[in-house]
Amino acid sequence: MKKILYLMVVVAASVVALSALRTPQPHNPALEAAIGASSRPEALQQLLKKNDKHHREALEYLITHMPTADRDTMPLDLLKENVEYAFMAYDKYPWTKALPKEIFYTDVLPYYVVDEVRDSWRRELYELFAPLVDTCTTMYSTLCAVNSNIPRITGVEYNTRREKTNQSPRESMRQGMASCTGLSILLVDAYRAVGIPARFVGTASWHDNRGNHSWTEVWLDGEWRVTEYYFPSQLDHLWFMADAAKANPNDRNYAIYATRFGEAPDWFPMVWCAEEEDTPVDSLPRYIGAENVTQHYIDLAHEQQTRHTEAGTHTLLRIAGYTKQGATQHSEDRVVIGVDIFAGSEQMGGGLTSSPVHDMNDVFSLFVPKNATYELRYNNAAGHLQRQTVTVGEEPTTVNIYLQ
């Protein structure tokens, strides 16, 4: 009798197993459409079949949302490697395993940041940074460890002599240099390599038309925090916050966008793709998803300035630019000069001095901590870098700089 019952259980289990095998996979119209539109549907299907459930789900998500060109041409072994190393971080680090699935998929798993060359950055950066962060116990200590060591570990420093704007991590490390866009791509990828959600943020132009800028956000304790290359632990208090306060959420030229993989409400204006300097922003490529985060930055900058004012810890450093010394009385004496303000090695801000057509009381101003020494850096008429030291006390301080 026991033998009969045992056989019945075995047969029933076999029927259930066979039924499960024959049950069709959940219908995913978006994935099917993406694969069907590809020039290599069979190869993509084979890639999915060769992976376990978790890796397959991740690959399905990437294939569904990846740019068409990548779906047609990206080496599939590179896509597979990206998923494998993303899950190595997931399995290894508690801060990654604790993430909501959506955040892991949109801001850790993606294999690219913007339109940079697709290379094996995740494996390389994981091997570089994993030994550094393996002793960390929190996401915050991990991001500090990455940010404070990334120039030393990668050998990449800021330099506008880099080959191009949108460099991949491998391209930047080969040259040892990158501008703000390349540095931001590198930092985003370094974070993602050790399981920290990160995204690329930037503006097509600041309010005074002095050009674009790119930086990074990290997802910490349920919210996006602002950081940048060279700033180990200074979250949200970046040198460009005064400029961010003047951004315009309703004008794509002056709005601030954060990239988003997958479904996105907007697109990121990649100004480095412009063929001509005066190319309209609306004519730029639109395949990198994004969300408009301008208002968040405006609110954050205003909140910081209000807090500093109420605490009495900051005052205004006002900088006026003139053609030459001794000629500072008339509007025609004034000239636009790009100036950066540093406290030691940390940049506190930057901008353009007011032009001859601005009111004489309209002076470029920056809110800075009181009782500190700052260095102004700008180029003179001959293109030579000038450095001017300024000591700011308790009261607002006005400084003149000269082109000649």
Q: What is the pLDDT of residues 129-157, one digit of tens each?
A: 999 999 999 999 999 999 999 999 999 99
Query: pLDDT exceeding 90 applies to what percent of the chain?
Result: 69
In a domain, 45, yes or no: no
In a domain, 90, yes or no: no
Q: What is the pLDDT of residues 246-275, one digit of tens each?
A: 999 999 999 999 999 999 999 999 999 998
CA dist 118 and 79 (Å) reads 9
* Residues 369 and 292 grouped into a single domain: no
Q: What is the CATH number of the domain that holds 229?
A: 3.10.620
* Residues 319 and 352 grouped into a single domain: yes
Q: What is the pLDDT of residues 304-324, one digit of tens each?
A: 888 887 788 988 898 999 999
In a domain, 61, yes or no: no
Q: Is the pLDDT of residue 349 over 60?
A: yes
- The neighbouring-strand residues paired with 176 are none
Q: Is the pLDDT of residue 4 over 60?
A: no
Q: Is the pLDDT of residue 18 over 90?
A: no
Q: What is the CATH number of the domain that holds 377?
A: 2.60.40.10
* Residues 320 and 395 grouped into a single domain: yes
* Residues 371 and 349 grouped into a single domain: yes
Tokens at 200, concatenated: 């690329």
CA dist 80 and 95 (Å) reads 23
CA dist 188 and 183 (Å) reads 9
Q: What is the pLDDT of residues 279-290, one digit of tens each?
A: 899 999 999 999
DSSP 8-state secondary structure symbol assigned to residue 126: H
* Residues 137 and 248 grouped into a single domain: yes
Q: How confident is the model at residue 13 (pLDDT cuts 50, 70, 90)?
A: very low
**Euclidean distance between the first and final Cα of the chain, in Å?**
106
pLDDT (0 to 100) of residue 327: 86
In a domain, 148, yes or no: yes
In a domain, 295, yes or no: yes
pLDDT (0 to 100) of residue 232: 65
pLDDT (0 to 100) of residue 37: 93
* Residues 254 and 326 grouped into a single domain: no
* Residues 180 and 289 grouped into a single domain: yes
DSSP 8-state secondary structure symbol assigned to residue 333: G
* Residues 164 and 295 grouped into a single domain: yes
* Among candidate residues 246, 274, 303, the one where a domain is terminated: 303
* Residues 143 and 181 grouped into a single domain: yes
Q: What is the pTM of this model?
A: 0.81
* Residues 214 and 340 grouped into a single domain: no
In a domain, 132, yes or no: yes
In a domain, 120, yes or no: yes
- The neighbouring-strand residues paired with 240 are none
In a domain, 268, yes or no: yes
Tokens at 317, concatenated: 């450093």
* Residues 257 and 299 grouped into a single domain: yes
Q: How confident is the model at residue 22 (pLDDT cuts 50, 70, 90)?
A: very low
* Residues 254 and 333 grouped into a single domain: no
CA dist 72 and 104 (Å) reads 25
Q: What is the pLDDT of residues 51-82, one digit of tens each?
A: 888 899 999 999 999 999 999 999 999 999 99
Per the structure, the count of domains in the chain is 2
pLDDT (0 to 100) of residue 210: 79
Q: How confident is the model at residue 277 (pLDDT cuts 50, 70, 90)?
A: confident
Residue-range definition of the domain harbouring residue 336: 314-402
CA dist 291 and 99 (Å) reads 21
Q: How confident is the model at residue 359 (pLDDT cuts 50, 70, 90)?
A: low
CA dist 386 and 377 (Å) reads 6
Show the beta-strand stretches assigned E in 286-325. Answer: 289-292, 314-322
Contact 194, 130 (CB under 8 A): yes
Contact 80, 60 (CB under 8 A): no
* Among candidate residues 303, 324, 348, the one where a domain is terminated: 303
* Among candidate residues 274, 303, 332, the one where a domain is terminated: 303
